[in-house]
Structure 1
Amino acid sequence: MADIVITEFMDEAAVARLAQLYETHYDPELVDDPAALHSLLTSARALIVRNRTQVGESVLSMGPKLRVVGRLGVGLDNIDVAACRARSIPVIPATGANDLSVAEYVITTASMLLRGAFLRSAEVAAGGWPRQSLMGRELAGKTIGLVGYGSIAREVAWRAHMLGMHVVACDPYLLADHPGWQIARNVSLDAVLELGDVVSLHTPLTEATRYMIDARALSSMKSDAILINAARGGLVDEPALADALKAGALGGAALDVFEAEPLTKEAGAKFKGLGNLVLTPHIAGVTDESNLRVSHLIAEKVLEALGSKT
C-alpha cells in the first residue's frame, strides 16, 4: 500500500526521489477518481495535491495515518487547514517557488492587452492589414495597481518599475516600513482601482474578498483599464466582468482562475466573442522551470516531515 499519494501532476524526477524511500502512488488523474483516492488514503502517510483536489473532512477522515499534506502551489483554499491542524497534520505550500512564473504572466498579459496587436493574428493571416486599428499602448508611463502586495505582487512591481511603469498597491497586512514600498505607492483599494491602467489581483479568496471586483468596482476603473486575475477564482464577479467588456466599459481582461474550475463550456459562454480577453486554465504559475522548483521543494519538505534525510 502507498505511503505517499500524489493526485495531480508533478515532475517525474521529484516523484522518483520520493519513490526511492517510500512506496509512492503517482496518478495525475487521481483527482477525478475520488473512490480510488479514498481507497489509497487508508495507508497513506503523505498526500500531495495541486489546486483541484479538495482536502476537507471527508478526505482527511479516509487517511487516519496522514502526517503531512504537500501543496504543489501556494493557495490553500482547496485545503481545510483548520481540519488539518486539528489532526496535527502540517500543510506545506511551495512558497516562493512559482512567484516568478506568475509575475511574468501578469506582465505578459498586461502588454498583450494594452498593445492589442497580438490577439489579431488570424486577421493578418487572412490578408487584412489593420495597422491603424492596431496602434496599441505602451507599458511605460502607465500605472499598474496591485490589489494585495505579497511576494508575487512585489515581483510584478519590480518588473513593472523596470519597464517604466508607475506602481500603486494596497495591502492592509504589509507593514508600512516594508522595503517593497520603496517601489510602490501605498494607497487604498479605491485608489488602486481609480488610478490603475492595469489592475492585477494578488489576494487570497476569503469571505471578505469574494466578488471584491464586482460591477461597482469595475465601474470605478478607467474605461480603458486592463484587469488581470491570476490569484484566485471568486475574486471577480465573472458575469459583471463580461458585461463590462461587452459594453466597452473596460479595456480588457486576463483571467487565469475561475470561480468554478475547470471552466465548463456553459460557464464560459458568457465570454464568447470577446476579442479583448485572455483566458487560461490556471497555468500562470506553471512553467517548465516552476514545475521543477515546486515539485522538488515539496518532495524535500514532505520527506523532512516523514523523517527522511534528503
Structure 2
Amino acid sequence: MTKPRVLISDKMDPNAARIFEERGCDVDVITGETPEQLIARIGDYDGLAIRSSTKVTKAVLDAATNLKVIGRAGIGVDNVDIPYASAKGVVVMNTPFGNSITTAEHAIALMFALARQIPDANAQTQAGLWPKSGFMGVELTNKTLGLIGAGNIGSIVASRALGLRMKVIAYDPFLTEDRAVEMGVEKVDLDTLLSRADFVTLHTPLTDETRNILSRERLEGAKKGIRIINCARGGLIDEAALKDCLESGQVAGAALDVFETEPPAKDHPLFGAPNFICTPHLGASTTEAQVNVALQVAEQLADYLVNGGVTNALNVPSLSAEEAPKLRPYMALAEKLGSLVGQLAHGNLTHISIEREGAAAELNGKPITAAVLAGFMRRYSDTVNMVNAPFLAKERGLDVSEIRHEREGAFNTLIRVTVETAQGPRSVAGTLFGNDAPRLVEIFGIGIEAELAGHMLYIVNDDKPGFIGRIGTLLGASGINIGTFNLGRREAGGEAVLLLSLDEALTPEVIAEAEKVEGVKTVKALAF
C-alpha cells in the first residue's frame, strides 16, 4: 500500500516530520517557495501542513489534484480559501487551542509592562539617563480587570489575574452565571465593565458584532485612567480614537499586539502616543506554543490520512465513511438553522434545543447537533467547527437538548432549533427539498419558504399595502439587486417577515435607511 505523502511548506518544529513518519506517512519539508513553485509541486501530495506564510489560493487548490487535507499549525486560516477547498473536497484543519496559554501570558506581560511603564523606563536607562523619579507606576493587586470575552484564552487570563489578587469582571454574550461562578469572575454588561475596570483585556474574534467594540464613544465614556490590552484581533478598537484618548489622559495606557492593518504603517498615529506599547503580533510566539501546534497538526493530518479520523476540521464534521453521504445535506441544513437563530436571537442565551422528526429522526443525531452548534456559535468564535462546537458549548455553560420525535408532521423530514431568550422561546425550522436542498420553512412562528445562502436581509414589519414597494425602491436606488423575495405573516394585517437574498452585502448606510422605512420593526443583515 502506498504511503500518503505530506508536504510541510512552512518552518515548523522538526518533530512534526518525525510524527508523520512514525505514523505511516512520507514527508517532505520544503519551505520558502514562491507561489509558482508550490503550484508546480503540490499535485504530488495528499496532505499539506502550513503555518501563516503559505497562501493556499484557488490556483494552488486547482493544482492540488491529489490533496485531501490541509493542516494549519495555529488558529487563523485567513491564508486558506476554505470555501474553495470545501468545493474541491479538501478538509481544512487547524489547532485552535495550542496557543491559548501563550497568548494569555502575553496579555498578562503587557499588563505588567503598562502598569510599571517598563519599555519607556528601559529605553531611557539604556540611553544613559537615570529617570527614577519620572516613573510612577501602579500595583495590580486590588485593581479590577475587565475581560471582554471569557472563552478559552479569557478564562486563562482570569485565573492568572485572580492569582495576582485582582478582581475580575467579564463581559461575554455567551457567559452564563454558573460559568462565571466557576471562573471566579463577576458577569457584567459592557458599559458596566468599562465604567469599573482599571485594566481591560480583549479576547474575542473580529466579527461584524465586535468590530470597533471599543469605539470612540465607549472609550470616552469609560473610567478615566483605564488601561487597555489587546492580544486578540486588530479592528476591535477604534485606533484613531484610542490615540486621542491617550493624549487627553482619558486612557492612561494601551498595549497592542495586533493592529487593524498588519504590519502597521511606519507613520501609524498610535506610534509615539503617550504610554503606548506595541509588539509585532507575538501572542503565539513562544517555543512551547510553536512546538505544541506543530505536533498537533502532524498528529491530526496523519490520523486523517492513515485512519480517516477527523479532528478540529473547519469544514467537515466527524463522520464515518458510511454515514457521510446520507448525513451531509442534513448537516448543511442544521448549520444554516443554527447560524440563523444565532444571528437573530440576542442576549444571554443559555439553552438551545434541537428537534428532529420524520426522516431526520432516524439518523445519527450527533453530527446534526454539532452542525447546529457550529452555526450558532460562529458569530462568537472564529475557531469553532463541527468537531469542537459541543466542547465549546459545554465550556460556555450552554444547555443543549436533543429531542427525537417519531411523529409524522407536515414535512417528510424536519429540524427545529429553539433558543430561550428574555422574550421567551424563539425557534426556526427547516426541511430538505429533494432530499438534498436545505430550505427554511418557519421563523419565529411564521411560516416562510426560503433558501439560506449568501447575503440576506431580514425584516419584521407591519403587514400593510405598499411596504414591499418601499423596500424594493430603497434597494434599487442603492444599486442592490434582489435575488429572491420571501414573505410570511402571522395573519392578515399583523406581523410579517420579509427575507431577501441579495447579490452583495448591505452597507451600514443602507441598513440605517431601511430602518426608517414606514412599517419596519426590525432590520438585520444576515450572512451564510
Tell me the residue number matched to 2:134.
133
Contact 2:74 2:293 in 1 (8 A): yes
Q: Indicate if the aligned counterparts of 2:8 and 2:30 stay in contact, CA closer than 8 A.
A: yes
1:150-205 deviation digits (Å, cap 9, x = unpaired): 11110000000010111111222244432664411111122222222111111112
State the match for 1:70 in structure 2: 71
- Residues 58 and 205 (structure 1), Cα distance of their counterparts in 2 relative to 1, 3 Å cut: farther
Q: Tell me how far 1:306 sits from its aligned partner.
A: 0.9
- TM superposition shift of 1:271: 2.7
Alignment check: 8 A CA contact 2:202 2:232 kept: yes
**Pairing 1:15–2:17 present:** yes
Counterparts of 1:115-130 in structure 2, within 5 Å, are 115-130=116-131
Cα contact 1:14–1:295 (8 A) shared by 2: yes
Percent of residue pairs identical: 36
Does structure 1 conserve the Cα–Cα contact (< 8 Å) formed by 2:146 and 2:170?
A: yes
Instruction: Note if contact 1:154-1:180 (Cα within 8 Å) is conserved in structure 2.
Output: no
Shift of 1:223: 3.1
Cα 1:261/1:41, change in 2 over 3 Å: farther
TM score, norm. by length of structure 2:
0.53
Whether 1:26 and 2:29 are equivalent positions in the alignment is: yes
Deviation of the 1:298 alpha carbon: 0.9
Name the aligned partner's letter for residue 202 of structure 1: H
More moved, 250-259 vs 174-183: 174-183
Answer yes or no: is the 8 Å Cα contact 2:121–2:131 preserved in 1. Answer: no
Write the distance in 2 (CA, Å) between the matches of 1:54 and 1:129. 48
User: In 2, Cα distance between the equivalents of 1:188 and 1:28?
Assistant: 47
Name the residue aligned to 1:279.
278
Hey, what does 2:231 align to over in structure 1?
230
Matched to 2:14, the amino acid is: E
Please give the TM-score of this superposition, normalised by the length of structure 1: 0.86
Q: Return the letter of the residue paired with 1:290.
A: A
The residue correspondences of 1:39-78 to structure 2 (distance < 5 A) are 39-55=40-56, 57-78=58-79
Paired with 2:42 and 2:10, the residues of 1 have a C-alpha distance of: 15
Post-superposition offset of 1:247: 3.3
State the AA in 2 paired with 1:130. P
Amino acid corresponding to residue 11 of structure 1 in structure 2: D
The answer to whether the Cα contact below 8 Å between 2:200 and 2:226 also exists between their aligned partners in 1 is yes
- Kindly report the root-mean-square deviation, in angstroms, between the aligned alpha carbons of the 2 structures: 2.7
Aligned counterpart, 1:216 = 217
Whether contact under 8 Å (2:180, 2:186) holds in the other structure is: no
Alpha-carbon distance in 1 for matches of 2:158, 2:304: 34
Cα drift, residue 57 of structure 1: 4.2
The answer to which structure, 1 or 2, has the higher relative contact order (CA under 8 A, 6+ apart) is 1
Structure 2 portions without partners, runs of 5+: 309-528
Report the 3-state secondary structure (helix = DSSP H, G, I; strand = E; otherwise coil) of the residue aligned with 1:5: strand
Q: Deviations over 1:41-97 (max 9, x none)?
A: 333322223345454545433433322221221234444444444444333222322
Structure-1 separation of matches of 2:206 and 2:52: 13
Q: Which runs of 5+ in 1 are unaligned?
A: none
CA contact (8 A) 2:180 2:187 kept: no
Deviation for aligned residue 1:248: 2.8
Answer whether contact 1:119 1:275 (CA < 8 A) is retained.
Answer: no
CA distance in 1 between partners of 2:278 and 2:60 (Å): 31
Task: Decide whether the 8 Å contact of 2:16 with 2:294 is kept in 1.
Answer: yes
CA distance in 1, matches of 2:53, 2:212: 20
Cα distance change on mapping 1:243 and 1:54 into 2, 3 Å:
farther
Query: Which SS does the other structure have where 2:178 is aligned?
Result: coil
Give the SS at the match of 1:39. Answer: helix
CA drift at 1:261: 2.5
Letter of the 2:17 partner, please give it.
V
Note if contact 1:75-1:204 (Cα within 8 Å) is conserved in structure 2: no
Q: Deviation string for 1:280-305 (max 9, x for gaps)?
A: 22221220111111111111111111
CA distance in 1 between counterparts of 2:9 and 2:216 reads 37
Change (3 A) 1:81 1:165: farther
Asked whether the equivalents of residues 141 and 164 of structure 1 are also in contact (C-alpha less than 8 Å), the reply is yes
Equivalent residues of 1:106, 1:200 under 8 A apart: yes
Q: Which residue of 2 aligns with 1:205?
A: 206
Q: Report the Cα distance in structure 2 between the residues aligned to 1:51 and 1:216, rounded to whole angstroms.
A: 35
Aligned-partner residue type, residue 122 of structure 1: A
Q: Helix, strand or coil: the match of 1:239? A: helix
Considering only CA atoms, is the larger Rg found in Structure 1 or Structure 2?
2
Deviations 1:222-279 (A, max 9, x none): 332221111112222333323332333312222212222233435xx32332352222
Partner of 2:313: none
**Hey, what does 1:243 align to over in structure 2?**
244
Structure 1, 74-83 or 219-228: larger mean CA deviation = 74-83
Output the amino acid matched with 2:283.
Answer: A
Query: Which amino acid is 2:167 matched to?
Result: H
Structure 1 residues 177, 91: CA separation in 2 closer, same or farther (over 3 Å shift)? farther
Amino acid at match of 2:110: T
Over 3 Å counting, the alpha-carbon distance change for 1:196 and 1:19 in structure 2 is: same
C-alpha spacing 1:81/1:178, structure 2 compared with 1 (3 Å): farther
Q: Which range moves more in the overlay, 135-144 or 75-84?
A: 75-84
Aligned residue in 1 for 2:148: 147
TM-aligned CA deviation for residue 107 of structure 1 = 0.8
1:213–1:237 Cα contact (<8 Å) kept: yes
One-letter identity of the residue aligned with 1:13: N
